[in-house]
Amino acid sequence: MTLSSTLYAKAQTLIPGGVNSPIRACRAVESEPLFIARAHGSKIVDVDGREYVDYVMSWGPMLLGHAHPVVHQAAKDALDAGSSFGAPCPAEVDLAQAICELMPAVEMVRMVNSGTEATMSALRLARGFTGRDLVVKFDGCYHGHADPFLAAAGSGVALIPTSFSQGVPKACVADTLVVPYNDLDALKTLFAEKGKDIAAIIVEPAPGNMGLVLPRPGFLEGLRALCDQYGSVLIFDEVITGFRWSLGGAQGRYGVRPDLTTLGKIIGAGFPVGAYGGRRDIMEKLSPCGPVFQAGTLSGNPVAMAAGLANLRELAKQDYAALEARTGAFAEELAAIVRSKGVPVQLNKVASAFTLYFTETPVTDMDSARTSDAKVYTAIYKQMREQGVYLASLGYECAFTSFAHTEEDLAKTLAAARALKL
């Protein structure tokens, strides 16, 4: 019995499913969670002392790698000055400035404590600004666990047979309209019918929660045009893509300017942080300037702000193009190895993220993502873990590399892949 198993048994008596976020339980891949003792660079180490090359990276935040010394020193220094004040602190102004400089569409920004808070607040703001209720989301996009987004959502929600959570009153999702991702025609039809009542489109510009799916040329531009035509607010949920797709996020990479942007993960460097920002005229509707209320006891937490700021400053010194080239070549080779074992593979990749789908069908939306053979993913997950490679515990996720991943890490991973029995 490993220490992880012992802890998991105990955890299940105390915490529902033994975990504080569902897919950590590894049920989709018929495994048990590893309990993690520590992490450094590209590696995590479980409580039994086994080290793994990590492609989860805390589901995205750790783009510099785990326990980056500069980021940690910034957090430690901030901590020495006190862990929370419930009052403004200098670091939140500096982080706000850094975000606004890197993402010009973000003219003002409000800090919160998670991606979920960021998206639910951005939607409230869009509704308050437009005086409309309807929101359009895309099948398989995940925007956190606030009620209006728990309709046809990706990530762990996709494992619930209906893709709808119980406990969400029908009224809370009645105003959520769901359209297939990449389907501009369906969206145009919807807007022709209901456009003047649509407060916002919320979209992961390149979804990472049905695995990784890329926008078709013209798709994001089409969203922009529809929002302009009908006076709806375009919200880019960049909780995953922000500062990963490029320093300026997906919006910088694809050259489409949203009205509002939601952020999380990387801006907190692993601390619990989210943020939402965008057009000044919209942001100034927020309390205390305007009538849309949103607040947070720990928002702008000084330790998280200091870590996030150090993270963005360090990221600005990195070579994104080199990491993308390295990750892309690695992902291609991984796909080729799996294909050589007689399994059909579709590879979607961009920047330092990729997903392998085990299907003949190119994956462009949630329906095509569902054609991926989950049994193959389960086999790969288990066998790679046995060999010291830590992958996401669900096929509808991205694999992430970081600036800390070395050639040696990638070579070790490819060697493990060559040994797979599929």
Interacting residue ranges for ligand PMP, rule: CB under 6 A:
59, 114-116, 119, 142-144, 204, 208-209, 237, 239-240, 264, 274
CB of 120 or CB of 384, closer to ligand PMP: 120
CA atoms within 13 A on the CB side of 358: 19
Pseudo-torsion of CA 304, 116, 390, 412, nearest 10°?
-70
CB of 29 or CB of 266, closer to ligand PMP: 266
Distance in angstroms (rounded) separating the CA atoms of residues 315 and 326: 17
3-state class (DSSP) for residue 136 = strand
Shortest Cβ 57–ligand PMP spacing (Å) = 12
Shortest Cβ 155–ligand PMP spacing (Å) = 6
Catalytic residue among 8, 52, 54, 265: 265
Catalytic residue flag (residue 237) = yes
Q: At what angle do helices 407-418 and 374-386 cross, to 10 degrees?
A: 120
Distance in angstroms (rounded) separating the CA atoms of residues 278 and 155: 26
User: Could you tell me the two tokens for 262?
Assistant: 């939601």
- Per the DSSP assignment, residues forming a β-bridge with 116 are none
Shortest Cβ 349–ligand PMP spacing (Å) = 17
CB of 295 or CB of 422, closer to ligand PMP: 295
Catalytic residue among 8, 142, 320, 357: 142
Q: Which residue is nearest to ligand PMP (CB)?
A: 115
Q: At what angle do helices 219-230 and 184-194 cross, to 10 degrees?
A: 10
- The torsion angles phi and psi of 289, rounded to 5 degrees, stand at -75, -40
CB of 61 or CB of 128, closer to ligand PMP: 61
Distance in angstroms (rounded) separating the CA atoms of residues 369 and 259: 29
Alpha helices in 29-179 (DSSP H): 69-80, 90-102, 115-130, 170-174
CB of 119 or CB of 121, closer to ligand PMP: 119
Q: 89 with 306: CB under 8 angstroms?
A: no
Q: 249 with 258: CB under 8 angstroms?
A: no
Catalytic residue flag (residue 276) = no
Catalytic residue among 46, 54, 237, 365: 237
Shortest Cβ 269–ligand PMP spacing (Å) = 13
CB of 128 or CB of 264, closer to ligand PMP: 264
Query: Residue 304's CB: how many other CB atoms inside 10 A?
Result: 27
Shortest Cβ 348–ligand PMP spacing (Å) = 16
Catalytic residue flag (residue 373) = no
Shortest Cβ 144–ligand PMP spacing (Å) = 3
| Catalytically active residues, by annotation | 142, 237, 265
